[in-house]
A and B are shown apart, each in its own frame.
Chain A
Amino acid sequence: SQQGEEDPQALSIQEGENATMNCSYKTSINNLQWYRQNSGRGLVHLILIRSNEREKHSGRLRVTLDTSKKSSSLLITASRAADTASYFCAGTGTASKLTFGTGTRLQVTL
């Protein structure tokens, strides 16, 4: 069963706009990761934020983590058509397996 949920489930924006996705999780984590998945393909690791970090940047990506609320957000700035994909958050707890959410499907139109 899924342990997390992304919100919204689907998001459609125009190129150049910012996209914000939220993730909630249920159990304690050591770190939280975001992945991208293009249709029918494998997952690509985007960014990892440790449980003692509150914000992290990587290029056009900004991730926040609020462990008190068990939530994280991913912001993609100046979106491009190539950002069209599904985005998943995944937490790592005491075991090293990843527990994924249900994903946000992002559509960036020209």
Chain B
Amino acid sequence: DTGVSQDPRHKITKRGQNVTFRCDPISEHNRLYWYRQTLGQGPEFLTYFQNEAQLEKSRLLSDRFSAERPKGSFSTLEIQRTEQGDSAMYLCAGVRTSGYNEQFFGPGTRLTVL
């Protein structure tokens, strides 16, 4: 158990709906990362936070995606006007700044867009 939790674990939605996912790292995780993983592929980087500051965003993160980490604790990832191509596993990972960037992943949220 990495101590990182994600909610919900599964989400089924209809195309065009908005969805929001939540990630709760442990308190020592200064950095928090979001990745997206499609079937048969490795995870792809979306964005990351150092405390509450969002420091980098991937080109994969279109303007329909927004992420926040208020107060530098939990984080949310929102997808607006979902498309079938958004169907994937969304993973978050926490990192202690003092380490070598070992990332501790949550169980993921599997999104299915119908």
Indicate if A82 sits at the interface (CB-CB under 8 A): no
Which of B14-22, B69-77, B79-87, B100-108 participates in binding chain A? B100-108
Contact of A48 among B41, B56, B100 (CB under 8 A): B100
A44 to chain B, nearest CB (A): 7
Indicate if A43 sits at the interface (CB-CB under 8 A): yes
Cα–Cα distance between A80 and B100 once the two chains are bound (Å): 29
Contacts of B40 in A (CB 8 A): 102
Contact of B102 among A45, A95, A101 (CB under 8 A): A45
Interface contact tally, CB-CB below 8 A: 70
* Residue pair B103, A44 in contact (C-beta under 8 Å): no
Interface residues of B in 25-50 (CB under 8 A from A): 31, 33, 35, 40-45, 48
Indicate if B91 sits at the interface (CB-CB under 8 A): yes
* Residue pair A41, B42 in contact (C-beta under 8 Å): no
A59 to chain B, nearest CB (A): 16
Cα–Cα distance between A30 and B100 once the two chains are bound (Å): 9
* Residue pair B105, A88 in contact (C-beta under 8 Å): no
Interface size on B, residues (CB 8 A): 28
With A33-B102, A92-B101, A96-B95: A41-B107 Cβ-Cβ less than 8 Å: yes
Contacts of B89 in A (CB 8 A): 40
Contacts of A48 in B (CB 8 A): 100-102
Contacts of A99 in B (CB 8 A): 45
A76 to chain B, nearest CB (A): 19
Chain A 60-79 interface mask (CB, 8 Å, partner B; 1/0): 00000000000000000000
Cα–Cα distance between A45 and B110 once the two chains are bound (Å): 20
Cα–Cα distance between A103 and B37 once the two chains are bound (Å): 12
- Residues of chain A touching chain B, judged by Cβ–Cβ distance below 8 Å, are 1-2, 4, 30-31, 33, 35, 40-45, 48, 50, 88, 90, 92, 95-103
11 contacting pairs across A/B (C-beta < 8 A): A2-B41, A2-B42, A42-B91, A42-B108, A97-B33, A98-B33, A98-B35, A98-B101, A100-B43, A100-B44, A101-B42
